[in-house]
Structure 1
Amino acid sequence: MRFGILSFILLLSLSTQAAIYNYDYWWPLELTRYFQQVNRKTQMSPPASTGVAEKCGGIYTQAIAKGEMDVRYALGYFDDTQGKEVHFDGRNYGLSPSLDIAVFHVIRGFMKRPCVNQGQQICEFAESGNPEQGLVVLSKTIFLDQRPVNVKMTLTHASASESFTANKGTLVTRQSQLTRQSEQNFFGALGRADIVFYNGHSRNGGGPDFNPPILNRQNKTNYTGHYEVRRDGIKRFLDLMGQSRNPDQVVGFFSCYSRRHFHRDIMRVNPNQKVILSADEIDYLDSLLASMGYLEGFMQGRCGQDLADFAKQGAKIQNGFQGYNLR
C-alpha cells in the first residue's frame, strides 16, 4: 500500500479527541486489515458499471435519479458498563466509560484517507462541520450506472465525554445536546435518507439508545427494570417507520442480537423493509468493520448475495450479520 498504516495513524492522531483503551491506535489498524480483504474482493469481483438500478431494485433508483445519496451514521451512547470502575493501562476510566467518541474520530480519519486501490470508494471524502460539536458531514462524488451521485454522510456520536459521571453531572447540558443531535440524525432520517446506520447497544431490545445508561443498584445496565420493559428506542423507530414505509431506505442495526430483538417487530410493521441485523453478540470492533464494509458495498452499487459476500469478510462477521430485502 502506498499509504501505509503509520501514515494513517499520524493523520488520525492530528484530530482524535478521545482515545479510551487506545482505540484510536488499534482500530485504524484493524480497519486497514479488514479493507485489505475487501479490496481483494473488489479486484476479484469488480462492481458493475451499468445495470445497477435494474439489478438492485429500489436501493439505488432514487439516488441515481436525484444525483444524491443521503447516508446517516449515528453512533449510540456506547458505554462499557461493568458495574465497577474500569482501569486500563494505568488509567482509571471511571464507571461505565464511553467508547463512541473515539470511534467517531476513527471513522472520520478512515474516510478521509487517500484512495490506494482502483474501485475503492470509502476514501478521500471531504469533511465539513465541527468535530468538536459531535457532528460532521463527509462528502464525495461516486458513479452509479455511469452517473454522478453526490454522497453525503452525516456522522454523529452521542457521548459528551468518556466519563459517565461527568456526562450525568457537570456535562449534563452538553450531553443532552449530543443525545438530541444523534437522535435527530437517526430517527429524523427515517423515511427520508437513503441509508441509515445505528452502531451502539441494543439494550436487550430497548435500543437504539443515545442516552447514558440507566443503571441498577449493582451499577450495571438496568435491563429487566427499564430497557426490556419500556423499549423506548425500538417503539419510536417502529412508530416512525410505520408512518413512512420508504420502500427504498436501508436501515442497519449494528448492535448485539439485533435480529433477535428487532426483526419480528420490523417485519410486522413493514415486511419489505431493507434492513441489516446482527445474529449474535457482536463486539464493537466487528460492528464497526461490518458497517464500513456494507457502506463500501453500497457505494459500489452492490446488493443481495453479492453485497453479503463482499461486506462479510472473516468468520465472525460472516456469521454475525444478516441482510433482508437487500435486492
Structure 2
Amino acid sequence: MNVLQKLIGVMGIIFASASAQAYIYESAFYNLGKDYLRQVGRLGTDNLRSLPSGEREKCQSRYERILNDGVIDIRIIIGYFDWTTGSQIYSSGRNYGYSPSIDPGAYRALREIITSRCPGEAEFCEFSADGPYKYSKSVINQGRRYLARVEIVFASVSEYYSANTGRYSSEQQQRSQAALAAFNSALKNADAVFYFGHSRNGGGPDFNPPIFKPGTNKVDYSGYYKPQRPGYRKLISVLSSSDRKPSILGLMSCDSRDHFLSGLKKVAPRMGVISSKDVLKVDGVYTALIGASDAILRGQCQRGFLESIRRTSFNRQYITMDRMFE
C-alpha cells in the first residue's frame, strides 16, 4: 500500500465526522488565501527577454530542472498544526479543548482555493481534482505550456488533541507516518516542496501530536524538541541520502531561517530556500506559501518572486528567500 492509499484510508474518519460543518479556522484560511491571491499577477519582470542577461540566466538556471520533464511538480505537506496556548480553545461557540489541530481547516481551504475560479491573473486556482490530494492544470511558464501538478497532504486525523491521542491514536499514528512519508517522498522527487506547520523551536518539521511537559498542557521545547531536534535530523538525513533534491524548499513555519538554513546549505547548497524570520503569525507563512506556489506556476524570477511572497507589509518584514536566483 503506497503513501496516498494510506492517507485515503485514514482520511475517512475525519471527513465522516466533520463533513456537515467547517473545520476550525477553515473559513479564515479560505478568506485570507483568496484575498492574497487577488493581489498576485503578471509583472513586467515575468518576461525573460526584458531582464538583464545575468538575471535572465540565473532565472533560467533555477527553472531548468523544474521544467525539463514537461511537468511542474509542487507538493504541500501540512504538519500536525496544533494551536497550543496552554488553555482550552473556543471558536464559534464550540470548545475544541487543548491544542486543537488547524491543519484540516487549512487543507480544506487550500483545496477550495486551488479548485475555484481564479481571481484576476492568479495561477494557483482552477485546478482539476485528480483525487483527495492531487490536482492538475495546464499553465504557461516562461513562454511555453506545461502540465502543473500540486499535491496537498495534512497530518491530523481530527481537530481534537484528546481524540487524536485517545480513541483515534492508532489512526493518528498511521496518518502521521504517512504524512512524513509523503514529505520524504516529496524531498526526493518533487520540483518544489512546501512544509506548512510548526518549527518546534528547531525540532520540526513535525507531523505528530505535540509532546507536552509532564503534567502540563505546554509544549516541551526545552526538554525534547530543542535538544533532540527529531524533525530536523530526519530532514537533513533524507536530503543527504538523496541524489535528487528539490529545486525549491519552502519552510513555512516560525523562525525557520535561523532554525534550518545553515544545515540545509551544507547538504543541499544549490537548493533555493524560502523561510521566515522570528516567531510569526500564521497569516504570514500561509500567504507566502500561496504566493510562492503562484510564482512558480508562472515562472517568476527574482524581483517578481519576491513581490509575490511579500505582498503584505508583514511578509516584507519577515519572509525571506535564499539562493533562489543567486
Q: TM-score range by the shorter chain?
A: 0.7 to 0.9
Distance 2:286 2:137 in 1: 20
Aligned partners of 2:168 and 2:47: how far apart in 1? 49
| Partners of 2:37 and 2:119 within 8 A in 1 | no
Report how far residue 113 of structure 1 moved.
Answer: 1.0
The answer for the alignment partner of 2:180 in structure 1 is: 183
Q: Could you tell me which residue of structure 1 aligns to residue 125 of structure 2?
A: 123
CA distance in 2, matches of 1:247, 1:304: 21
Matched, 1:67 2:74: no
Equivalent residue for 1:288? Answer: 286
Aligned match for 2:23, one of 7, 15, 19: 19
Q: Kindly provide the amino acid, as one letter, of the partner of residue 176 in structure 1.
A: Q
User: SS at 1:66's partner residue?
Assistant: coil
Q: Distance in 1 between matches of 2:36 and 2:303?
A: 19
* Structure 2 segments unaligned to the other structure (5+ residues): 1-17
**CA deviations over 1:75-98 (Å, ceiling 9, x no partner):** 000001122322233211011110
Mapping of residues 174-323 of structure 1, within 5 Å: 174-216=171-213, 217-244=215-242, 246=244, 249-323=247-321
After superposition, the Cα gap between the structure-2 partners of 1:58 and 1:182, relative to the gap in structure 1 and judged at 3 Å, is: farther
Deviation at 1:247, TM superposition (A): 6.2
Q: In 2, distance between residues paired with 1:126 and 1:50?
A: 31
52-61 or 24-33, which deviates more: 52-61
Structure 2 distance, partners of 1:225, 1:102, is 30
1:62-117 per-residue CA deviation (whole Å, 9 max, x = no partner) reads: 23221111111000000011223222332110111100000000000001111243
Task: Give deviations 1:280-324, integer Å, cap 9, x for gaps.
Answer: 212222211110001111111012233112321111111111111
Calculate the aligned-residue CA RMSD, in Å. Answer: 2.2
**Amino acid paired to 1:215:** F
Deviates more, 1:108-117 or 1:267-276: 267-276
Match of 1:164 among 161, 164, 174: 161
Q: How does the TM-score come out when normalised to structure 1? A: 0.86
TM-score, reference length from structure 2: 0.86
User: In structure 1, what is the equivalent of residue 114 of structure 2?
Assistant: 111
| Length, aligned pairs only | 303
Tell me how far apart the structure 1 counterparts of residues 315 and 187 of structure 2 sit (CA, whole Å): 26
Structure 1 residue ranges (4+ consecutive) displaced by more than 6 angstroms after TM superposition = 49-53
Deviations 1:183-236 (A, max 9, x none): 122122213210000000000000000000001132111101110111111111
Query: 2:243 & 2:259 partners in 1: Cα distance?
Result: 20
1:124 positional shift: 0.7
- Please state whether the residue corresponding to 1:78 is helix, strand or coil: coil
Say which SS state the counterpart of residue 46 (structure 2) adopts: coil
| Deviation readout 1:252-287 (Å, 9 max, x if unpaired) | 000000011111211233333211110121222221
Paired AA for residue 153 in structure 1: V
Question: How far apart in 2 are the matches of 1:207 and 1:259?
Answer: 12
Gaps of 5+ in 1: 1-13, 131-135
Identity of paired residues, percent? 32
2:44 is matched with 45
